[in-house]
Amino acid sequence: MSQREQPTTVPMLIDGAWREADTLLDVRDPYRGDIVSRAPESTRVDLDDALNAAVRAKKVMAAMPGFERATVLRRAIALLLERADMIADIMSRETGKAIKDSRNEIIRSQDTLSLSAEEAIRIEGEHVPLDGTAMGAGKIAFLLRFPIGVVAGITPFNAPFNLAAHKIAPALAAGNSIVIKPPPQAPRTVHELVRLFVDAGAPAGSVNSLYGNEIGQLLVRDPRVDFITFTGSTRVGAEIKAASGLRRVALELGGTGQTIICEDGDLETAAPLVARNAMRLAGQSCISVQNVYVHSSVIETFSKSVAEEVGKLKFGDPLDPDTDVGTLIDEAAARRVESWVEEAVSQGARLMAGGGRTGAQLEPTVLSGVKPDMKVVCQEVFGPVVSLQAFDDVEKVFDTISDSPFGLQCGIFTARLELAVRAVKRLRTGGVILNGTSTWRTDQLAYGGVKDSGIGREGPRYAIRDMTEERLVLFNM
């Protein structure tokens, strides 16, 4: 998508056909301010048609052998390879993401589709040994897995392509149909993913796309939906959980990105990782490094190193291949983060780097001397800001992290194996990264949080497990 190209009107996909909407919403490039795409505002009629199509298609998908589902996914991968640069360009224009990060996201999405294709042919149950009791002796039992039905997927703007792939690809691999509701900020990015599946030969109705600010609420409340998978804020996740009733959900929600730097940790490795992983994607990641607890004996040295590393990052035009940090999703988001930084400084935090804002772009920012009740510490910043605070007793840090509302991922740098094992046992989070930061995810792992950070796990194998139902089969012999 060139900078001079006219805005593209994004259609919905319903029952295998593209559908235009009467009402369109403009999407602006956060860096340049021009309109780059126009998204449809889906209606109740669109919702009904999409869900009815998905209900019909779930029978077709359930009857499709695993190897055929895998074939569709592999065709989509081949098409993605052909369109990768184009899609990355669209993503950077819609979201302000640095083009190098957009390209990396497309590469990761290839993995997501490939892993889903592999899992499509290895969905398995288990034998249940019954001869452990007199009642069961002589009988044979199996647990088999079957598709759950219609999946509703709602995705965010920060990794719009790959996170939508993490909904659609496992749903199809498991033999389900899906209605996807992309973020309003990146409609064309997700449209291009949906188009891959259409062009790859996915059955009509197996993938449907709806757009708009209100349609998501209607979608998750509709009884035709059998399973809900959502990535986004804790607030919206709680609303979805309340609306889901007895239906199962997978919720990948927010976090406050804690990383612990012990006195015996590798500081030369840790400082660049903390700096880079706090600022990549302009800090708009659930596992972005936000809170860094540093042993008091090394905090001065470490803080200066992080500030120096942050100063090396280039921020500016997202389409410049040399740019490390693009914009936030819009100016309102940048203003919010700026106000949190200013509030922290007014309450005694020390600004060690950054803090300036131009439009939707906020300079990569480093704070030290923060307090636990500051917003930049206890709430999810979702911006290019990292806060450092000293500690003397690591056990108290473990308590602070475990007792906090969030529990997505935590990193710890230490040379002591005993301390690393203790951290794994003590930290109540979805993942503990040893000698790494909170910002680490590869697409085949079980990814997700506990407490206010979510329910369930993503990753094709684990998503497919959630998107299938167990059925007991008993043979009376």
d(CA 312, CA 23): 44
- Quick check: is 105 catalytic? no
Q: How far apart are CA 330 and CA 185, in angstroms?
A: 9
Q: How many other CB atoms are there within 10 angstroms of residue 242's CB atom? A: 9
Query: Quick check: is 458 catalytic?
Result: no
Element (H, E) at 358: strand 357-358
d(CA 77, CA 17): 21
d(Cα 106, Cα 110) in Å, to the nearest integer?
6
Phi-psi region of 96 (alpha: psi -120 to 50; beta: other; left: phi over 0): left
Strands 150-154 and 227-231: parallel
Alpha helices of 121-233 — where are they, by DSSP H?
A: 160-173, 187-199, 215-221
Question: Under 8 Å CB-to-CB from 242, ≥6 apart: which residues?
Answer: none
Q: What SS3 state is found at 45?
A: helix
Q: Which CA distances in Å does 278 have to 25, 67, 286, 338?
A: 32, 41, 11, 16
The C-alpha atoms of residue 265 and residue 412 are separated, in whole angstroms, by 8
> Active-site residue among 252, 331, 338, 380?
252
| Tokens describing residue 282 | 């302009």
The whole-angstrom separation of Cα 346 and Cα 77 is 50
475: β partners: 140
- Single out the catalytic residue among 94, 192, 286, 363: 286
Q: Under a CB-based contact definition with an 8 Å cutoff, are residues 432 and 238 in contact?
A: no
Helix, strand, or coil (residue 101):
helix
Would you name the residues annotated as active-site residues? Answer: 252, 286
